[in-house]
Amino acid sequence: MLERGRTLATPVLRAAVDRLAPPMDTVAAYHFGWIDAEGRPAHGDSGKAVRPALALLSAEAAGRAPEVGIPGAVAVELVHNFSLLHDDLMDGDEQRRHRDTVWKVYGPEQAILVGDALFALANEILLELGTVEAGRATRRLTTATRKLIDGQAQDIAYEHRERVTVEECLEMEGNKTGALLACAVSIGAVLGGADDHTADTLEAYGYHLGLAFQAVDDLLGIWGDPEATGKQTWSDLRQRKKSLPVVAALDAGGSASERLAEILAADAKLSDAQLADFDEEEFASRAMLIEEAGGREWTSQEARRQHATAIAALDRVDMPAEVRAQLVALADFVVVRKR
């Protein structure tokens, strides 16, 4: 199912990216893993392609052919990658999908510019369909994009705050991850002429799928295998991310929670460079405290709760049984993945 999304959407995505003026077409092709930094053809990891798969299933959920969802799949993928280009720069992330990030290779200007271009291209791909449905789809995509940006703003703000509540963290993650996954699951149906009730219910599935996805991501951001994730060890701890396991551990109370709060308060006084100088063991001991305080277990349970809520939403839409089974399988994949 992920493979089908990639196979159907990638040629259209590549044709869209080819429209960009040089050197933006090259920079984008590098970002998507189609070429290496020297411009040679590559078969890099271009992501899990969960969103394109969802957009095609979305069209099928509305009783249409999967191809109806292709422009939606491409548009959502363009917006997702616009946000990756800008977020990697804002967060100072040097690696993505086992390769140097665009700002590292081509400089900050190109990361900003190509991000902007992918965002504009997403709207262009939809609106040039010229239909009323395309207008509705673009409106939903725009709403999702605004939430995505709100979420990144919250994420940045929370990194400078000592305490963040679990509710704030979930709201931020709903914006950052839930909104665009929700849009992916509704956009194919909207392009296929589905009504607002169907689209909204599919979005509910996608939103909770996104929160499950993000809970798993937060676990992988601390305890993930760098070989599998392509990120540094303890990457979220290095970046002082107020991710779910951290926030839940701080909220839990008890001795491990209090000890963690003290350590993070002391860390907050250090510069990023000082934090980067820490030994692996320093981060390992922070991860251990988060686990002792219950942050790891709570986040695992939260992933399962969001998974269940997502599946429950599917019962409120009338769709082919085969499509429902695939949406369930995708939700199952999201919570067990290792990367």
Residues near its own copies (CB under 8 A): 20-24, 82, 86, 89-90, 108-109, 112-113, 115-117, 119-121, 123-124, 127-128, 130, 132, 134-135, 138-139, 142-143, 145-146, 149-150, 152-154, 156-157
Q: Which of helix, strand or coil describes residue 35?
A: strand
Nearer to its own copies, 18 or 315 (CB): 18
Q: Nearest approach, Cβ of 88 to its own copies (angstroms)?
A: 11
Q: Nearest approach, Cβ of 326 to its own copies (angstroms)?
A: 30
Distance CA 243, CA 222 (A): 9
Question: Would the CA dihedral through 138, 139, 143, 149 be positive or negative?
Answer: positive
Tokens linked to 222:
């601390």
Distance CA 310, CA 31 (A): 31
Nearer to its own copies, 124 or 282 (CB): 124
Nearer to its own copies, 71 or 224 (CB): 71
Tokens linked to 148:
């995505």
Residue with tokens 């790891």: 296
Nearer to its own copies, 123 or 233 (CB): 123
Cis peptide before 23 (omega within 30 of 0): yes
Q: Nearest approach, Cβ of 164 to its own copies (angstroms)?
A: 14
Name residues whose C-beta falls within 8 Å of residue 152's C-beta, 6 or more positions apart in sequence: 83, 86, 87, 90, 176
Nearer to its own copies, 138 or 326 (CB): 138
Q: Nearest approach, Cβ of 180 to its own copies (angstroms)?
A: 12
Q: Nearest approach, Cβ of 65 to its own copies (angstroms)?
A: 23
Nearer to its own copies, 91 or 258 (CB): 91
Distance CA 334, CA 205 (A): 13
Residue with tokens 């725009």: 142
* Cβ count near 29 (within 10 Å): 20
Q: Which residues of 231-258 are buried (b: 16+ CB within 10 A; e: fewer)?
A: bbbbbbbbbbbbbbbbbbbbbbeeebbe
Q: Nearest approach, Cβ of 230 to its own copies (angstroms)?
A: 23
Cite the DSSP H helix spans in the chain: 2-18, 24-31, 50-61, 70-91, 102-106, 108-127, 132-159, 166-173, 179-191, 196-223, 226-229, 235-238, 244-252, 255-268, 272-276, 280-292, 295-314, 321-336
Q: Nearest approach, Cβ of 163 to its own copies (angstroms)?
A: 17
DSSP assignment of 68-107 equals GGHHHHHHHHHHHHHHHHHHHHHHT--EETTEE-HHHHH-
Nearer to its own copies, 25 or 45 (CB): 25
Nearer to its own copies, 117 or 209 (CB): 117
Nearer to its own copies, 83 or 229 (CB): 83
